[in-house]
Amino acid sequence: AQRVTQPEKLLSVFKGAPVELKCNYSYSGSPELFWYVQYSRQRLQLLLRHISRESIKGFTADLNKGETSFHLKKPFAQEEDSAMYYCALSLNSGYSTLTFGKGTMLLVSP
Amino acid sequence: DAGVTQSPTHLIKTRGQQVTLRCSPKSGHDTVSWYQQALGQGPQFIFQYYEEEERQRGNFPDRFSGHQFPNYSSELNVNALLLGDSALYLCASSLGQSSNQPQHFGDGTRLSIL
């Protein structure tokens, strides 16, 4: 069965520091990977997905199939980046169901 | 567009009771998925409905059942409630079942079992 691991429950950085939220997955096939974010008092929303290969709010994520990782990175953290971040995968089988990690809380201090 | 809407917001039940949660998908979406999010955990997939049929199911017992109506709205039913069913229940909608279609989430229903 597929699994998503986010090893850090909490990541605390100062404003302007680089950020890397780690995500590893286990799946024998070729999944699609996503990062979802939940800001305080807001609903869970899609941040980015690997097939788009885009940068959203300064965040990027590269799928490394060799290391089965999909780490989320931002060179300079902002206070408004403070939120809960979930890595998720969808099996490339035609169905959009998601398997989520446990999430990492990012706190950016001034 | 209000996006995905769920009702009720909060619900308190006792063990052994039954509960029904409701979800209206984002306008234009036809696929509804339900997730259970326990405290401190990521959302866990329960099942997905498309064209009024359950298409995919996660590792949940038969006590969890659902329905999708012709207007694409959906219900999640849980029978014989257990303390462990206390969680946030999230509904997500998408256009079609394709894995490259992003899912849009509602605010969830917080279910507490006493």
Is the C-alpha dihedral spanning B77, B22, B42, A90 positive or negative?
Answer: positive
pLDDT (0 to 100) of residue A47: 94
8 Å CB contact of B99 and A32: yes
Tens-place pLDDT, residues B69-105? 999 999 999 999 999 999 999 999 998 877 677 889 9
8 Å CB contact of B55 and A95: yes
Provide the phi-psi class of A67: left if phi over 0, else alpha when psi is between -120 and 50, else beta. alpha
8 Å CB contact of A99 and B48: no
CA-to-CA distance for A26 and A2, rounded, in angstroms?
A: 5
Nearest to A97 among B42, B56, B106 (CB): B56
pLDDT (0 to 100) of residue B89: 98
pLDDT (mean) for A19-38: 92
Tens-place pLDDT, residues B16-29? 999 999 999 999 99
